[in-house]
């Protein structure tokens, strides 16, 4: 492969991955802005909204059932130059996602207090959190429907459209947060309820733009006809990823509980470290989107070798980007942590986490690309098994043993970094075997 050809592949990957990465970063920025505004109300409000956001995270885990299957099949049919089937997949998944969101809305709206009671929370936290959840629930159907449109656009490689819509949504959310929380510009001062209303309104406006572009401007060629076969095929691809998200989501809670055994400063430092690392993950998320779309497209066109070459190019780009991020985490962990706190002990704890996890960013970049390529090929069962087994058996279980044995937190973090490298290595091995090239979806 010539240098110019390889460079063009990297450029193709970056054109798709960069807007996707920025879109996901905007999602994190919106959550951070909400929490910064809530922090000016009261500490109880921060706790209530923070717990609510944990449940919002579970909603995104449910959405993966539709996102991955839509992306894999739409990109495959797009590559095969079969726009009718691509449009059928998008339409059927759109309708199913809307239907699936209804019971989640009902539970969140009518049983919001139960969600807090499950976690042993009552009193003011339950009261404030329930107010937030009852309002936020009105965005759930929009969130699910929009997720399918977003996934379909990504499958076509049109990642700039969600990015621009995300910028608009963030601006609206910021302005409405300020207006509705504190009663600016003639609006009523609604406190925490204002944060929820701002999110719902921003989501609705985003959805209207998606709907206009996809249904009126025909950025997606919807074919409005039921297809049980394509629906079944899309769900078959998406189901393992949904199971993976549902089974790995609790690990964040378990690991936080284990780190809490080392003290409040350790837990606070760990949470800050996770927040910074989450921002660092954004390039990786972009590479997942790009490799999913490109792999599905090439396989649909009957060119698996091209899919492999694009995945290799994406791996090089991911290692360069995430390696740079990892170097910054390793060399400047304390200044990064001070962006979130001035407490010396917390900064020290966060710096320890960031320094160690900085070493894992290149393996994570490889993992993101391999995971995206395999999912784009429809091999979601393998990623489910590898990711779930590695996180629970090689990260959570050793952490629990070390905490029980009183081993220093440094080693807990080091094992987590090593687990990332093992997981990446396993997916590379699966990818190089090439079975994904012949998977039918």
Whole-angstrom distance, CA of residue 214 vs CA of residue 145? 12
Q: How many CB atoms lie within 10 A of CB 292?
A: 27
SS3 259: helix
What is the structure's pLDDT at 119?
A: 67
From first CA to last CA, the distance across the chain in angstroms is 30
36-40, 64-68, 199-203: which has the minimum mean pLDDT? 36-40
* pLDDT the model gives residue 1: 52
Axis-axis angle for helices 160-182, 140-155 (nearest 10): 160
Residue 191, sorted as left (phi over 0), alpha (psi -120 to 50) or beta, turns out to be left
Q: Are 181 and 191 in contact (CB under 8 A)?
A: yes
Q: What is the pLDDT of residue 382?
A: 95
Q: Is the pLDDT of residue 437 over 90?
A: yes
Measured between alpha carbons, how far is 10 from 4 in angstroms, rounded to an integer? 10
Count the residues in the chain: 441
SS3 content of the chain, % helix, strand, coil (to 5): 85, 0, 15
Please give the pLDDT value at position 338.
87
Residue whose tokens read 């339409």? 91
What confidence score (pLDDT) does residue 4 get?
A: 56
d(CA 258, CA 58): 21
Q: In 3-state terms, what secondary structure has residue 2?
A: coil
**Torsion from C-alpha of 78, 80, 84, 90, nearest 10 degrees:** -40
Contact of 275 with 10, CB cutoff 8 Å: no
User: How far is 98 from 143, CA to CA, in rounded Å?
Assistant: 9
State how far the Cα of 373 lies from the Cα of 149, in Å rounded to an integer. Answer: 21
The yes-or-no verdict on residue 116 having pLDDT over 90 is no
**pLDDT per position as a tens digit, 75-106:** 999 999 999 999 999 999 999 999 999 999 99
What is the model's pLDDT at position 367?
A: 96
pLDDT: is 292 or 339 the higher one? 292
Read off φ and ψ for residue 250, nearest 5 degrees. Answer: -65, -20
Mean pLDDT on 242-249: 88
Write out the two tokens for 260: 């809490």
pLDDT in tens, 360-399: 999 999 999 999 999 999 999 999 999 999 999 999 999 9
Would you state the structure tokens that stand for residue 49, as one six-digit string?
A: 């909204």
Determine the Cα–Cα distance for residues 323 and 358; give it in Å rounded to an integer: 8
Q: Report the distance separating Cα 127 and Cα 104, nearest Å.
A: 20
- pLDDT the model gives residue 2: 55
Average pLDDT on 54-81 reads: 89
pLDDT band at 150 (very low <50, low <70, confident <90, very high): very high
Instruction: Please spell the DSSP secondary structure of 350-380, one letter per residue.
Output: HHHHHHHHHTTHHHHHHHHHHHHHHHHTT-H
Nearest Cα residue to 385 out of 374, 376, 377:
374
Q: What stretches of 80-191 show up as alpha helix (H) in DSSP?
A: 83-110, 112-118, 123-136, 140-155, 160-182
Mean pLDDT of the chain: 90
pLDDT band at residue 50 using 50, 70 and 90 as cut-offs: confident
Residue 357's Cβ-count burial label (10 Å; 0-12, 13-18, 19+) is: buried
How many Å apart are CA 354 and CA 321, to the nearest integer? 17
């Amino acid at each position: 492969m010539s240098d110019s050809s390889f460079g063009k592949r990297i450029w193709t990957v970056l054109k798709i991955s960069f807007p996707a990465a920025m879109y996901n970063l905007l999602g994190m920025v919106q959550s951070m802005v909400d929490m910064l505004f809530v922090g000016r109300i009261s500490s109880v409000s921060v706790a209530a909204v923070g717990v609510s956001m944990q449940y919002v995270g579970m909603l995104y885990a449910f959405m993966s059932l539709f996102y991955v299957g839509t992306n894999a099949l739409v990109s495959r049919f797009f590559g095969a130059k079969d726009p009718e089937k691509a449009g059928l997949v998008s339409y059927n998944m759109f309708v199913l996602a809307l239907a699936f969101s209804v019971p989640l809305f009902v539970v969140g709206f009518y049983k919001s207090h139960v969600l807090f009671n499950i976690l042993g929370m009552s009193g003011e936290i339950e009261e404030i959190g329930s107010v937030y959840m009852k309002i936020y629930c009105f965005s759930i159907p929009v969130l699910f429907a929009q997720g399918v449109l977003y996934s379909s656009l990504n499958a076509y490689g049109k990642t700039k459209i969600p990015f621009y819509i995300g910028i608009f949504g963030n601006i609206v959310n910021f302005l409405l947060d300020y207006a509705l929380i504190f009663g600016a510009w003639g609006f009523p001062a609604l406190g925490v309820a204002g944060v929820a209303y701002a999110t719902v309104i921003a989501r609705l406006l985003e959805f209207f733009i998606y709907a206009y572009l996809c249904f009126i401007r025909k950025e997606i060629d919807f074919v409005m006809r039921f297809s049980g076969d394509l629906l079944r095929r899309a769900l078959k691809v998406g189901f393992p990823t949904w199971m993976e998200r549902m089974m790995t989501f609790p690990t964040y809670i378990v690991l936080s509980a284990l780190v809490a055994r080392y003290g409040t400063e350790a837990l606070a430092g760990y949470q800050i470290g996770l927040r910074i690392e989450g921002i660092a993950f954004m390039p990786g998320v972009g590479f997942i989107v790009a490799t999913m779309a490109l792999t599905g497209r090439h396989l649909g066109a009957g060119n698996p070798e091209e899919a492999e070459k694009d995945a290799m190019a994406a791996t090089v780009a991911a290692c360069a980007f995430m390696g740079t991020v990892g170097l910054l985490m390793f060399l400047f962990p304390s200044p990064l942590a001070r962006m979130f706190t001035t407490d010396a002990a917390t900064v020290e704890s966060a710096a320890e986490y960031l320094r160690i996890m900085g070493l894992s960013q290149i393996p994570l970049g490889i993992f993101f690309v391999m995971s995206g390529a395999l999912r784009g090929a429809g091999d979601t069962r393998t990623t489910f098994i590898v990711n779930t087994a590695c996180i629970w058996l090689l990260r959570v279980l050793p952490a629990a043993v070390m905490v029980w044995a009183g081993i220093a937190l440094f080693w807990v973090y080091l094992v987590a970094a090593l687990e990332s490298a093992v997981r990446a290595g396993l997916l590379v091995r699966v990818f190089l075997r090439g079975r994904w090239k012949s998977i039918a979806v």
